[in-house]
Structure 1
Amino acid sequence: MAQNRNESILWLEVLKTNIGAQRFYTANGFQSLAELPFRTDIAEIQMVVMARYSFRD
């Protein structure tokens, strides 16, 4: 859908501890951009922001 809309970037957040998901997204053209905390009333979880910049391939 992003490709059909001519979007130039697609980004997502994945749990820092979910190494399998990070590998999957990296293999599909995503790059890690930053780490951000996600806070709830009982915990703080680290998230990794990933982005893919081109949808031409």
Structure 2
Amino acid sequence: MPTCSEADCEASAAVELHIPWDENRLVCAGHARVWAQKDGVVADPLDDADF
């Protein structure tokens, strides 16, 4: 399982973020909650994610 792409985060990635103005990112559930509040960002849970 990949780790979160956010700096200084060692948690497992649980969500793929589709960000219109940047590349897609794999992030943990905590960072996904923050990112998903931004306009245009779509959060897709990973099939093998453990929430």
Q: TM-score, normalised by structure 1?
A: 0.27
In our comparison, the structure showing a higher alpha carbon Rg is 1
Query: Which structure exhibits the higher relative contact order, with contacts defined as CA atoms closer than 8 Å and separated by 6 or more residues?
Result: 1
Q: TM-score, normalised by structure 2?
A: 0.29
